[in-house]
Every structure is written in C-alpha cells, then in structure tokens.
C-alpha cells in the first residue's frame, strides 16, 4: 500500500476525520444492511482486549458469565411500563419464522432485563440464592435512524450485568461498585479520564430508579457517555414476580441492578487520543505494541537485518511485549511507518545495517518527539518501561485537555457563550427542575451529563441555578453530547 492522501484534520472537520481514520486504520466498515457495522480485525482486536480486561474485573468482583436468548416475547417488554415506552420505538420485531406467522411476535433484544428477570423468577426462591451476580456478553439491536461507526449503530456488541439482591442498600452498593470498575478500566486501560455521577430523571434508563454514568470529553469538546450502571430498585422484580423468602421468613421482591458498556468505547478511544496522522492506541489495548521495521538494500543486508530483527522480536515477546516484525517484501519502510502510524501502534523500532553495526535500533514513539537510538541490549525491559510511561502520559494529556475545556461556577451568560464557542464541560448550579433542563436543551443542545460525584464537585458549591436563579439543589455538569 502506498502512502495515501492525508486525513482531513481534526480542526477542519472532526467528523470527517473520525470516519477517515476508521477507514485508514481498517477498524470497521459499513455493511450492506443500513446502520449495521462490520468490525474489521484491527477494530475487533481492540474490542477483544477491552473485553478481556473487563471480563477479568467482573470475575474479580464475583460475577459469572451466562447467555440468554436473542429473542424476547413481545409481551415481556410491556410488563414494565417505562421500559416499554423507552424501548418500543427502536425495537426490531420478528413476526414470521419457519414460513409461518408467529403466534406472538418476538423482539430482537434491545437490552435483556425482561428475559433475564423472567428467568431469575424461576431461579431465586430464598435469601440463600442471593446475591445473584451475572454478566452477559452479547449483541443487541436498537433501530437507529442516524448512525455513526462504533458510536451509534443498529446492532452493537456489549456486556450487560444483571444482579439481584436482598436489600436496597446492597443493590445500591453494587451499582456504585460497577461504576467504579468502569472508571478504573477507562482510566487505566483506555487512558481516558471520566467524570462519574448520577443522571437526572430525564436521562435515566427506562425502568431504573437511579442511573449512574461515566462521561468523557472528546477532542471536539462533546461529551460521550461511556458506561452506565443502574439501580433498578424493585421495578422489574415486581413486573416479573422475582420474589424470595427472607431470613425472617417473609416474602419480598428482590432488588436489581444492571450495567453495561459497548463497542462505543472503541469510538471513545479514537476520539480521545487520535491525531491527524490516525489512531493513537494506548499500549495496554494495542494489538501490536511494538512494530519492528527492517531496513536494507542488498540481499546480504536483508539476510542479516531480518535475522537480527527476528531475534529482537523474540526477545521482546519473552519480555511480555506484543511485538510484530513487518517483514513484508516490496514495500518501502516509509510506507510501513505510515501504515502503522495510522493504526496507532505505540512504538516502532527501525533496524538497518548501520544500527546492527552500532548495536542499536531507532525508536519512534507514536505520541511524537524525536527518534532516538537505543541499545539493543536490554530492549525488552526498556520497551516495557516506555509503554508504561506512554500509558500514563496519554491519561495525563487527556485529563489536562479536559480540564482546559471545563469551566466551573458558570453564570447563564458564560454558559451560553461557552456553548456557542468551543463547548466543553460546564459546572453550574441547578435547581433540579425538568423545565430548566428541557429549556436549556432546546436552546443550546446541551444536556446534563451528570450530577457529579463528590470528588468531582467544585470546592465551592453553587448556590443558585444558573438558568432560573432559584436555589441550587445540586451542582450539574453540562455539555453537548454524542
């Protein structure tokens, strides 16, 4: 592949940049079915690493995986009033199968609360059966009119955790715990800082008592809801008669939570770290962490260089580094650099005859800076160290960018000016009234991302609602969002 046309820059057109980056890095493609996405191997490799890390964290917190059916009887959805109202407009429904019209249409799952709680009603009898802590990795379908690769597609991949508890306090603790797990994953693996907090009623999950969210700020200063965790209270257990005998011998409904993240995280990763040359993948999620590019002219050089490069690769692999030797023939080193840069590989090593003679290799970092000659001896530990530093730097850079694009204690005028200009996170007082929220959304397209958790709250809490001047009941963080 020859060097292609440069990507549209982020500054010129962020949305065009995003689409071109995905095509160049071969992360995903449009499918023959409108709104559906094909995740290509380079994109799927990132998702697999995300899955692996999250799956371990779920298991470490006591959850087990299970699998529930893709089809849900239509009547199930209707049992929880808010839930059906929230999801009915975007469901796909199977009415015919096996050449016959079905007696009851089947909904292709948009989320699995209803089918899972119908099963929990069979499985849970006593307080001894609780807590029940289950996660499912699955695909879901929500009929979207306007789609964007990874961010909003008709079918997407995700995980949905569904738990049942004996008390409200336990369910609340679980919902909060999983929000914390998401935050840890997003910060430590994705190098993506997030704000956490509670959603207002208008942004709450359909059927939940309380929804918690982790929100990240993308490079175009729009927020992205990266993961949510819901305390469902007893709404679903009442609808599906999920009851248990308490230790005292009474009959009670269980308390549920659900929580999920999706392939949307790949989009978040792109928009958090990507630059005008393409994807920048944090080392912990990179398919190839180090790519070795051999440089030679003659056949003799070729033999020596390839031998040395493969030796280096083995050394790196032995040190726990995911290293790849790009030994493709008929492709200039420059074209290889360009391709691996576009795909976001964190580190590149260039090995030529002169490097061999000097006992060094040239190191290039995806995050920039001068190329540097580094000794071949001890290359494994050196690369491990480089990656740790890059992982930490990416998080710090993203955090600084977010803070530089946040304002606190905003007045109505400042808020309007901010949303009119570049946008970002605006912290302000909020009266808690849906009317104010709706009016602001109508006029500025900004929504309340979260009522922030304590550690994100401003040192001085606002006293009045920045919009209507009534007393503030909570600080709110506003932004335009994906």
Pick from 472, 415, 424: nearest CA to 449:
424
Do the bridges between strand 132-141 and strand 92-97 make them parallel or antiparallel, or are there none, so unpaired? unpaired
- Least distance from C-beta 470 to Zn ion, angstroms? 5
Nearer to Zn ion, 425 or 430 (CB): 430
Nearer to Zn ion, 379 or 440 (CB): 440
- Least distance from C-beta 434 to Zn ion, angstroms? 10
Nearer to Zn ion, 205 or 467 (CB): 467
The secondary structure element, H or E, covering residue 162 is strand 155-165
- Least distance from C-beta 200 to Zn ion, angstroms? 12
- Least distance from C-beta 191 to Zn ion, angstroms? 36
- Least distance from C-beta 75 to Zn ion, angstroms? 40
- Least distance from C-beta 438 to Zn ion, angstroms? 11
The CA distance from 248 to 268, in Å, is 48
The CA distance from 165 to 172, in Å, is 10
- Least distance from C-beta 439 to Zn ion, angstroms? 9
Nearer to Zn ion, 101 or 442 (CB): 442
**Left if phi > 0, otherwise alpha if psi is -120 to 50, otherwise beta: which for 96?**
beta
CA torsion 78-81-83-87 (nearest 10°) is 60
Nearer to Zn ion, 35 or 429 (CB): 429
DSSP state, 278?
A: B
Is residue 108 packed enough to be buried (19+ CB in 10 Å), middle (13-18) or exposed (0-12)? middle
Nearer to Zn ion, 309 or 431 (CB): 431
Pick from 385, 363, 359: nearest CA to 372:
363
Nearer to Zn ion, 27 or 436 (CB): 436
Q: Is 225 helix (H, G, I), strand (E, B) or coil?
A: strand
Nearer to Zn ion, 224 or 426 (CB): 426
Contact 135, 58 (CB under 8 A): yes
- Least distance from C-beta 409 to Zn ion, angstroms? 15
Count CA atoms closer than 13 A to 123's CA, side-chain side. Answer: 14
Q: Which residues here bind Zn ion, judged by CB under 5 A?
A: 431, 436, 465, 467-468
Residue 214's contacts (CB-CB under 8 Å, 6 or more residues apart) are 179, 182, 183, 186, 194, 195, 196, 225, 226, 227, 228
- Least distance from C-beta 222 to Zn ion, angstroms? 23
The secondary structure element, H or E, covering residue 93 is strand 92-97
Contact 216, 223 (CB under 8 A): yes
Nearer to Zn ion, 152 or 412 (CB): 412
Q: Is 161 helix (H, G, I), strand (E, B) or coil?
A: strand
């Amino acid at each position: 592949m020859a060097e292609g046309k440069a990507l549209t820059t982020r500054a010129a057109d962020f949305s065009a940049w995003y689409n071109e980056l995905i095509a160049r890095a071969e992360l995903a493609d449009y499918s023959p079915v409108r709104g559906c996405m094909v995740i290509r191997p380079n994109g799927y490799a990132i998702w697999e690493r995300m899955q692996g890390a999250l799956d371990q964290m779920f298991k470490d917190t006591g959850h087990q995986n299970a699998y529930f059916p893709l089809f849900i009887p239509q009547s199930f959805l209707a049992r929880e009033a808010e839930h059906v109202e929230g999801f009915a407009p975007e469901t796909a429904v199977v009415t015919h199968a096996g050449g016959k019209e079905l007696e009851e249409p089947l909904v292709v799952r948009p989320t699995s609360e209803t089918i899972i709680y119908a099963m929990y009603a069979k499985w849970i009898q006593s307080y001894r059966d609780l807590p029940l802590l289950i996660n499912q990795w699955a695909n879901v379908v929500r009929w979207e009119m306007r789609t964007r690769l990874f961010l909003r597609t008709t079918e997407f991949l995700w995980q949905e955790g569904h738990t049942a508890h004996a008390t409200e306090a336990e369910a609340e603790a679980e919902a909060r715990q999983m929000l914390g797990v998401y935050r840890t994953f997003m910060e430590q693996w994705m190098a993506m800082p997030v704000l956490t907090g509670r959603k207002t009623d208008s942004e709450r999950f359909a059927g939940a008592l309380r929804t918690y969210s982790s929100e990240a700020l993308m490079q175009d200063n729009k927020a992205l809801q990266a993961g949510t965790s819901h305390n469902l209270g007893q709404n679903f257990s009442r609808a599906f008669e999920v009851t248990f005998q308490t230790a005292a011998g009474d009959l009670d409904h269980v308390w549920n939570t659900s929580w999920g993240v999706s392939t949307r995280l790949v989009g978040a990763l792109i928009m958090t770290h990507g630059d005008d040359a393409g994807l920048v993948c944090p080392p912990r999620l990179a398919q190839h962490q180090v790519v070795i590019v051999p440089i030679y002219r003659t056949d003799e050089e070729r033999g020596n260089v390839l031998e040395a490069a493969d030796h280096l690769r083995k050394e790196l692999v032995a040190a726990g580094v995911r290293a790849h030797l790009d030994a493709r023939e008929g492709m200039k080193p420059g074209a290889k650099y360009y391709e691996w840069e576009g795909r976001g590989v964190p580190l590149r090593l260039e090995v030529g005859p002169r490097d061999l003679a000097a006992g060094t290799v040239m190191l290039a970092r995806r995050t920039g800076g001068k190329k540097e000659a580094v000794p071949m001896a001890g290359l494994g530990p050196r690369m491990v160290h480089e990656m740790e530093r890059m992982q930490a730097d990416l998080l710090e850079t993203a955090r600084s960018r977010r803070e530089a694009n946040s304002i606190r204690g905003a007045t109505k005028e400042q808020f309007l000016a901010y949303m009119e200009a570049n946008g970002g996170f605006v912290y302000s007082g909020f009266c808690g009234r849906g009317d104010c929220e709706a009016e602001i959304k109508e006029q500025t397209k900004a929504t309340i991302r979260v009522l922030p958790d304590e550690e994100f709250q401003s040192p001085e809490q606002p006293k009045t609602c920045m919009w209507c001047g009534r007393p503030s009941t909570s600080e709110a963080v506003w932004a335009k969002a994906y």
